């Protein structure tokens, strides 16, 4: 699995779904547009229903609930992680990233444009709040 770079400041959810689906940001954005999902909508990173709908449109199954993060070893092999979680006027916001474990090697695919590498293994610096298991 390869990281997909978000082309919009608030496009992390679209980019995370694109990485899981193995498509480009542009392809995921086009599908998101048909579903009424827009990167400019702040709900994309304060509500899980948008990424769940986009994943379902790609025929990717995800857990129907969020699970509190306890440790990197406890994560499933594929998951959407909520990092940089914070409140703004009593509304939670976060940055979406993808956790993947392939052949026993764990990494985080982070879509943020400004990163030197969008494949991260600096787990001590990443502070997940919770995750959604991606099952199919």
Determine which of 19-23, 46-50, 64-68 has the lowest per-residue pLDDT on average.
46-50
Give pTM, 2 decimals: 0.93
pLDDT band at 45 (very low <50, low <70, confident <90, very high): low
pLDDT interval class at 97 (50, 70, 90): very high
| 26-37: pLDDT as tens digits | 999 999 999 999
State the DSSP string of 24-74. -HHHHHHHHHHTT--TT-GGGGT-THHHHHHHHHTT--B-SS-EE---STT
Six-digit token string for 91: 């509304």
Residues in CB range of 135: below 8 A, 6 or more apart: 61, 62, 63, 76, 78
CA torsion sign for 60, 99, 6, 14 is positive
Helix (H) / strand (E) element for 34: namely helix 25-34
What is the DSSP-derived secondary structure letter of residue 28? H
Mean pLDDT of all residues belonging to the chain: 93
Q: Tell me the pLDDT band of 83, cut-offs 50, 70 and 90.
A: very high
């Amino acid at each position: 699995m390869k990281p997909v770079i978000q082309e919009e400041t608030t496009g992390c959810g679209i980019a995370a779904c694109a990485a899981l689906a193995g498509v480009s940001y542009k392809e995921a954005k086009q599908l998101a547009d048909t579903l009424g999902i827009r990167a400019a909508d702040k709900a994309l990173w304060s509500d899980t229903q948008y990424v769940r709908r986009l994943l379902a449109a790609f025929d990717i199954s995800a857990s129907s609930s969020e699970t509190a993060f306890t440790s990197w070893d406890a994560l499933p092999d594929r998951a959407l992680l909520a990092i940089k979680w914070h409140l703004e006027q009593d509304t939670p916001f976060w940055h979406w990233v993808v956790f993947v474990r392939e052949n026993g090697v764990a990494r985080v695919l982070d879509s943020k444009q400004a990163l030197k590498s969008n494949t991260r293994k600096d787990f001590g610096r990443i502070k997940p709040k919770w995750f959604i298991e991606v099952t199919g």
